[in-house]
Chains A and B, each alone.
Chain A
Amino acid sequence: MDIGGVIDYLVGFAIMAMIYAIFTLGLNVHWGFTGLFNIGIAGFFALGAYTAALLTSPPPDPEQFEDFVFGGNLAHHDVLAWGIDAWFFLGIAAAAAVCGLVALIIGSITLRLNDDYLSIATLGIAESVRLFFLNEKWAANGSKGLYRIPKFLGDLIPAENYDYLYIVVVLIVLLILFVAVQRAARSPWGRVLRAIREDEVTTAASGKNVSHFKLQSFVFGAMIMGVGGALFAHHVRFLSPLTFDPLLATFVIWAMLMVGGSGNNLGAVLGAFVVWGVWAGTQFLPGVFSDPSFRLLMIGVLIVTIMLLRPGGLLGEWRRIVARRPAPAAGRDATGAD
């Protein structure tokens, strides 16, 4: 493989790793900050991707035997072009809105109850979304999938070098989301979420409406996942219900957050790169190591091992790093009883 090929590969790798980093950030809002257990990431992944794809794809072509009813074709409305492909952002916003809405509905039913119900409900969302897109051919062409998803600023750059443009787009979106999540985490709002995670009863006793905060966190994280789904749709530009299997759309993301360190946004991004690197790298290994089943087994073992040995992940939460510093001169532990 020549050096150009290697760089092309690395660029493609980095795009996927950064898209995964967006999902990991969303999951960090759920689990890392608030302790919400979302095991149906695939559901939001699919909703975000399909929303963006359906709004921007051209209408169905009967000659291609496409029998879905709606393609928003936003990419071909002059009003939304303006030379900067504004439709792209509209699609992303819609993806975030749809995911947020679904999270709002399901969250408001389950979050006021037992915590565990949310996790089972997310599993139900993921399965229902998958079944919907698989069975309702009119919605998004069923298992044949959508394959005419437009490129953002696709006219600017030749197709073979397009990834070099898209990596910048993904990087910018990731940076914006990272800053947003980071600011949210450090705000009073974020502190309430962490308080809920650590001790719900005490937080409620301090006058915080726990289930409202949980719901906000659930919706916020789901919207981030929607953005990730939209970016994914315009990157791979082919979606079918099979794209969103639990392994690559839910479990891998959990492994990323676990490795990187839940509660730490930088850790979430780092974890996405490390795990995706290991995942992509092992496919070149000989024998059993590149076997998808073996890699599935290893992801499970990895999650259990981290839970047992290092629940904080590689980086751990910032708070814990601070706690390791020597105590201030006054002899009082600055971090309190923790």
Chain B
Amino acid sequence: MGFLPFVKLGLVANGIIFGSVIALGAIGLTLVYGILKLGNFAHGDYMAFGAYVAFYIVDGLLPRAGIEGAGLGPFTFGFPVLIALPLSAIVVALGAIALDLLIYRRLRQRGASTAILMMASLGVAIAIRGLVQLIWSGDTQHYPRESRQVYHLPMDVRIPPDGLFVAIVAVILVAGVYMLLTYTKIGKAMRATSDNPSLALVTGINTKHVVWWTWGIGGALAAIAGVLLAVVQAQLLPIMGWKFLIPLFAAVILGGIGNPYGALIGALVVGVSMEVSTQWINPSYKPAVAFAIMIGVLLARPHGIFGDSQ
């Protein structure tokens, strides 16, 4: 490859896989951020909760119905994870809507500031993590798995089949979100609300439905991102969602708050940078790399790489 000959392509491939997980989380986060003006600190914990709901389905519910398995085709996980994926998305989507009705809607009606909303979301984040730890303990868990060969590609690129699965799921979902935002009525209403909430209201957009759809899509994407994260990391930990907040917010800020396509690009940039950085620095500094990218973007282009520079 002509560009950056010193970068290992394998790390770039890993970065794209990791970046697609970030993207699914970041797209939901940026939609909520743009439309509801809420930087949702619980978004990472929605992811973790989604991963654990899937774990419960795979480990607790489905075996009772006699559905078990691991090592589906080239993948480490089994068929049950494919069943759990949409179910967990529905659970978290409904949960996110319920939390809005219970908490955020009341705060909005009271005219609470963005900071109060974010504070409440911090409380929600802590509560969800406590709940996850209480139910599933703080120990490491994993979906039933069998070890599998990685794909060997030219240029010393090795891709685990699970990573390919993650990337494909992400591409399908991102395409779905694109279609929804571009062609459906509710999608257009969501974009209009994100651009100008009061204008959207006076043009007769049902903001209540917009709010529900935003949380529904954000929650569902978060849950799927959580499951995929648990698949690529081959483990679940209650703290996994909180730890993921820095890359998530870095992607959102990189892409410009409220811009889902920006978040997608931002997520890939953050994911690839985090992985490629391991070529030179200790891999455990990956979150710090995401943080450094975020600070760099804030210095150079405060409104994101696609926003107006200030």
Contact = CB atoms under 8 A, between A and B. Distances in A.
A301 interface: yes
Nearest to B137: A293
A39 B41 contact: yes
Given A119-B39, A293-B134, A308-B120, A300 B125 contact: yes
Given A113-B302, A296-B130, A304-B120, A127 B138 contact: no
A294 B125 CA distance: 14
Interface stretch (A69-77, A128-136, A216-224, A231-239): A128-136
Contacts of B167: none
B125 A131 contact: no
A128 B114 CA distance: 26
Interface string B87-109: 00000000000000001001100
A113 B298 contact: yes
Interface string A91-105: 000000000000000
A301 B285 contact: no
Contacts of B131: 293, 297
A144 interface: no
B197 interface: no
Contacts of B245: 120, 123
B287 interface: yes
A294 B134 contact: yes
B282 A135 contact: yes
B61 interface: no
B126 A300 contact: yes
A109 interface: yes
Interface stretch (B5-13, B62-70, B147-155, B288-296): B288-296
Contact of B123 (A35, A135, A292, A302): A302
B246 interface: yes
Contact of A291 (B41, B134, B282, B287): B134
A297 B107 contact: no
Contacts of B126: 247, 251, 296-297, 299-300, 303
Interface residues of B, number: 47
Given A109-B299, A308-B106, A308-B120, A300 B294 contact: no
B133 interface: yes
Interface in A115-167: 115-117, 119-121, 123-125, 127-128, 131-132, 134-135
A131 B288 contact: yes
B288 A254 contact: no
Contacts of B246: 120, 123-124, 127
Contacts of A251: 122, 126
Nearest to B136: A293
Nearest to A37: B115
A284 B5 CA distance: 61
Contact of A127 (B112, B115, B127, B288): B288
Given A116-B114, A294-B134, A109 B122 contact: no
A296 B129 contact: yes
A58 interface: no
Interface in A293-334: 293-304, 307-308, 311
Given A251-B126, A308-B103, A109 B115 contact: no
A258 B288 CA distance: 29
B284 interface: yes
Interface string A25-37: 0000001000101
Contacts of B186: none
Nearest to B243: A127
A117 B298 contact: yes
B127 A117 contact: no
A110 B250 CA distance: 13
Nearest to A288: B134
Contact of B119 (A37, A128, A296): A37
Contacts of B285: 131, 135
Interface in A233-252: 246-247, 251
Nearest to A293: B133
B177 interface: no
- Of the candidates A31, A106, A135, the one having the most CB atoms from chain B within 10 angstroms of its own CB is A135
B115 A303 contact: no
Contacts of A117: 253, 298
Given A131-B285, A307-B123, A299 B294 contact: no
Contacts of B282: 135
A47 to B, nearest CB: 15
B249 interface: yes
A304 to B, nearest CB: 4
Contacts of B181: none
Nearest to B295: A109
Nearest to B113: A35
B124 A297 contact: no
Contact of A246 (B127, B134, B242): B242
A254 B122 contact: yes
A297 B238 CA distance: 12
B72 interface: no
B127 A121 contact: no
Interface string B267-310: 00000000000000010110110110011001100100000001
25 contacts: A31-B115, A35-B113, A109-B299, A113-B302, A114-B257, A116-B118, A120-B253, A121-B298, A124-B295, A127-B287, A135-B282, A258-B119, A296-B133, A298-B130, A299-B123, A300-B126, A303-B119, A304-B123, A304-B124, A307-B112, A307-B116, A307-B120, A307-B123, A308-B106, A308-B120
Given A110-B295, A121-B291, A297-B127, 20 more contacts: A110-B298, A113-B298, A116-B118, A120-B253, A121-B298, A131-B284, A131-B287, A251-B126, A293-B133, A296-B130, A297-B134, A299-B126, A300-B125, A300-B127, A301-B123, A303-B120, A303-B122, A307-B107, A307-B120, A307-B123
Complex A-B, nearest 7 residue pairs according to Cβ-Cβ distance, in ascending order: A300-B127, A297-B130, A303-B123, A296-B130, A300-B126, A124-B291, A293-B133
